[in-house]
Amino acid sequence: MIAVPINSRRARNTVGCPGKTPKKPRENFCVEIMPYIETLTFTPIGAPVPNRGFPIDTFVVGLHYQQVVSDANTFQPLHIENGMWLLLDKEKKIVSRLSSIPHGNTLLAIGDSFDVEGNFQIPEIDGLPILDKPVLGYAAPYFTAEGVPPFNPSNPNKILQDIIDKQKLLETVILDVSTENEGGISNIPFIEKNADVSSFESTFWIEDVEDEAGNEFLQLQYSQTTNLDFIKDFTSEDPDKLIVWPHIDVATMVKQ
């Protein structure tokens, strides 16, 4: 299966990144919000994979995926990722996502799969930096960055909700995983030093949609948050505490 965006303007990437102004450490960040083009390809892993154990063995099934992302305006490569979605427990519907990217990160995220019927509400998420205590105006660059509006840094998932509010959904399979759920992330030393990736969570909505003519098609929406830690949290009493910068990707895609 190959999934591609409905419209590149409906796929968004937002990230706070380390800046180049060491004389102003509290303000040493930049904001990037950009539309992107993506191709997401899924293929079977071939056969059930046995995990030997006691008193019983288990068998894991899943899909291999490749994600290729480019800037929607310049068509320059932005991201490539290889990984797998695995069904770890069929009865309990436990799933996992494994991935690796050439920045120098690998991850294991574990979670649940469940179904919903009809239309539904996508949970709101916050794309702004996370400090121990709020600081008036600190996140202002997020609201003046190119791409705002239509993108809303206070709730990047609104782009996804706006799309399904205009559609008739029949049934949706939801895959919800996190590295905080007995998973983890490994980063190369450079990443750990400059913008440490501390956690990752991802939700996929695989939607059966009925159009106005009564035809059905498969649609994939996803929202994923990669938390980056950099810049000392100047509002915290902990001298080692860093500000958390959510790197959020949201997209709506259709099966080809």
**Structural domain range at position 118:** 2-255
Residues 187-241 have pLDDT tens digits of 999 999 988 999 999 999 999 999 999 999 999 999 999 999 999 999 999 999 9
Bigger pLDDT: 233 vs 24 = 233
The candidate with the shortest Cα–Cα distance to 35, out of 3, 13, 5, is 13
Alpha carbons 45 and 87: distance in angstroms, whole number: 12
- Flag whether pLDDT at 137 surpasses 80: yes
In sequence order, what are the residues at sequence separation of 6 or more whose Cβ sits closer than 8 angstroms to the Cβ of residue 72?
8, 9, 11, 34, 35, 36, 37
pLDDT at 158 exceeding the cut of 60: yes
Is residue 63 within 8 A of residue 42, CB to CB? The reply is yes
Whole-number Å distance between alpha carbons of 185 and 83: 14
Nearest to 207 by CA among 159, 163, 240: 163
Q: Is the pLDDT of residue 12 over 90?
A: no
Question: What is the pairing mode between strands 58-71 and 29-44?
Answer: antiparallel
Band of pLDDT at residue 10, cut at 50, 70 and 90: low
**Do 56 and 89 contact (CB within 8 A), yes or no?**
no
Label residue 9 by pLDDT band (50, 70, 90): very low
Inter-residue contact 231 to 242 (CB < 8 Å): yes
CB 2 within 8 A of CB 40: yes
Q: What is the CATH number of the domain that holds 188?
A: 2.40.128.20
Rounded distance, CA 157 to CA 3, Å? 19
More confident residue, 1 or 183: 183
pLDDT tens, residue by residue, 52-75: 988 888 999 999 999 999 988 888
Q: How many domains does the chain have?
A: 1
- How confident is the model at residue 20, as a pLDDT? 58
Helices (H), the chain: 140-144, 158-164, 189-194
Q: What is the DSSP string of 143-200?
A: HHSTTTTTS-TT-TTHHHHHHHTTSEEEEEEEEEEETTTT-EEEE-HHHHHHSEEEEE
In angstroms, the Cα distances linking 134 to 227, 237, 243, 245, 254 are 18, 14, 11, 14, 39
Separation in Å, CA 132 to CA 199, 205, 229, 235, 242:
17, 32, 13, 6, 9
pLDDT digits (tens, 9 = 90+) for 72-117: 888 899 899 999 999 999 999 999 999 999 999 999 999 999 999 9
pLDDT at 8: 43
Whether residue 187 contacts residue 196, with contact meaning beta carbons closer than 8 Å, is answered with: yes
> Does the structure show a pLDDT above 60 at 21?
no
Question: Which among 28-32, 66-70, 73-77, 177-181 has the top mean pLDDT?
Answer: 177-181
| Secondary structure class of 9 (helix, strand, coil) | helix
Which amino acid type is present at position 94? Answer: I
Name the pTM for this structure: 0.90
